[in-house]
Amino acid sequence: MIALTIAQLARAVGGEAVLAGDATADTLVSGGVDTDSRLIGPGGVFVAKPGEETDGHLFVDAAVANGAAVAIVERPVDADVPQIIVPSAVEALADLARHVVATVRADGGLRIVGITGSNGKTTTKNLLARILEDEGETVSPKASFNNEVGAPLTMLRVTRDTRFLVSEFGASAPGEIARLAGLVEPDVGIVLMVGLAHAGGFGGIEATFHAKSELVRAVRPGGLAILNADDGRVAAMAPIAAELGVAVRWFGRGHGAEVRADDVVVEASGTSCVVSVDGESAPLRLRVLGEHHVMNALAAIAAATALGVSLTDCVARLETVELAERWRMQPLGSDRVRIINDAYNASPDSMAAALRTLAQITGPGERTVAVLGAMSELGEHADEEHDRVGLLAVRLGVKRIVVVGADARRMYLEAIAQGSWDGEAVFFATADEAYAYLLTELRDGDRVLVKSSNSAGLRFLGDRLGESFS
């Protein structure tokens, strides 16, 4: 975080400062900000956020022991540290992020990119950050820091030297993206796709469209919206941008896109294509596995070239990326038995993309195996969408369909209904049971996809399989 006095901190968050020790209102604080006392370092700011299972106020002493210089609290705590008392620690975190980013932006050198979409946010964020980091200091989220806590914590990592801030905006309800993006008013807003991920929280696909369009509305006037030309709902956000004085730049596979991919070839070692940007073309070989990541790369290229990076540099930097993120199409195992661990998140769209990738990268004499768990947060669409996954797995000719967990059972039942009743489809209640089965079932030449939502926990099953067949 940039250096602020305790008085400036208190004003930024609308709180009351209570001093302790040798501290004065003019004492400078410049350490990192966090809600986890274990991650606080010397000179840091600890935000005592109440939680569902515990309360940050119980860990103020631990934060002080790790070097905290200030604690932001909702009530006074008996600890030898200056405290800033606020009505809401989460709102104070957002207010502080807004203040810090605005202060750095006023210097004139900071450009801000916001990313949202039902799928692909984290991969696109990582690809774009890789391109921009060679241009200057770039701050981007760790893992999927994209909620009301993670997004502000990322913003608070900017310094006076930061040239680019890449923010990822996730949401499970209307208004969340507007609130988070409104903290920084991005210069560039990327909308990847509108799908059924989190549809249960939004209340349906149309509500999801309106929620994702909140990013376009948050882009500062004169800024740029980068929209997926191949997604009709995303394309329908263009009039919103025009109304607000925000330019539009299109990416996609169709000929109308300004940033386009042609000649896409998917292999087990990666995906190749030819990228065209405003008439200039260059071959790109992505080591990140899966055809769907081509769209994420196009979105990153669209943003980076709009920010002044050449297509040549974009391609060269993207080709150095070996893995988008842990548990996202992560290759494990060996050439003998290849495990693809993609069990950090799952929606109907990402599930379909992963299954298609499995089919595309499996060659003659090799066998496809899909280990599938539940997709969460689908609300009233859950039954139908789990049925669709089971049907798709059968239609793609997956040789072994291993369904894990009661919430995913409909995938198994649909696969059985579609003809996978002679041992091709099996069901296990737990990951341990599935693991025991797979240890004896998998053989040389198998290509294994492990796919589920985070809550299903199959990412750890994928790790175990990767170790066992390494």
Question: Residue positions in the annotated binding site for ATP?
Answer: 117-123
Q: Count the Cβ atoms, other than its own, within 10 Å of residue 360.
A: 17
Give the dihedral sign, CA 182/309/145/172.
Answer: positive
> Residue with structure tokens 């709180």?
15
Residue keyed to tokens 């967990």: 405
Neighbours of 223 (CB within 10 A): 23
Count the alpha carbons within 13 Å of 303 in the hemisphere toward its beta carbon.
34
Measured CA to CA, the distance from residue 296 to residue 125 in angstroms comes to 9
Q: Is 456 helix (H, G, I), strand (E, B) or coil?
A: helix
Query: Biggest alpha carbon distance in the chain?
Result: 75
Cβ burial, residue 313 (10 Å; 0-12/13-18/19+): middle
Query: How many residues does this entry show for the chain?
Result: 470
Distance CA 278, CA 276 (A): 7
Note whether 334 and 452 are within 8 A (CB): no
Provide the β-strand partners of residue 249: 226
